[in-house]
Amino acid sequence: MTNEQRTEQIIKKYGFNLINISKEEIIVLLQKEIADYQPGSSEYLRVLCGYLYCMGDISDVPLLEKAKYSINMDVGCMIDSEWIDSLKNGGISSQYIRSRQEIIDDFVLYYKDFQAEEEGLE
């Protein structure tokens, strides 16, 4: 199964009713993916980080930073620094950071209709 297929599968499983998603499950999945990263598209890791951002707080910053900085540059580019900065500043908008709600809305908009590409097209 490709990372994009895994992304589509996890979105179908959890959806975007963030109140009903287990933060602990997302943390376990993210830790597992960091420890055993599957090369290819970084969408799966990115969606896990996005879920954690949407449900998280400043205590989740070290795990998001580990995902962003410990695998490779391509993965690092996929994980939004804005998510980390927003958790660090309490989700308040500033000159360089949108409000937490705007970031969450963009995350949901990006992934709500996500479909994995057919194999061989990556």
Give the residues of the chain that fall short of pLDDT 50: 121-122
pLDDT at position 121 is 47
pLDDT at position 119 is 63
- What is the Cα–Cα distance from 22 to 29, expressed in whole angstroms? 11
Using an 8 Å Cβ cutoff, are 54 and 106 in contact?
no
Tokens of 99: 């409000």
- What is the Cα–Cα distance from 99 to 120, expressed in whole angstroms? 38
pTM greater than the 0.85 cutoff: yes
Q: Where are the domains of the chain?
A: 3-111
Angle, helices 23-35 vs 61-69, to 10°: value is 30
pLDDT at position 120 is 54
Helix (H, G, I), strand (E, B) or coil at 23: helix
- What is the Cα–Cα distance from 16 to 109, expressed in whole angstroms? 10
- Per-residue pLDDT of 58-77, as tens digits, reads 999 999 999 999 999 999 99
- Between the alpha carbon of residue 105 and those of residues 35, 36, 55, 73, 98, the distances in Å are 29, 29, 13, 26, 11
- What is the Cα–Cα distance from 76 to 108, expressed in whole angstroms? 20
pLDDT at position 122 is 45
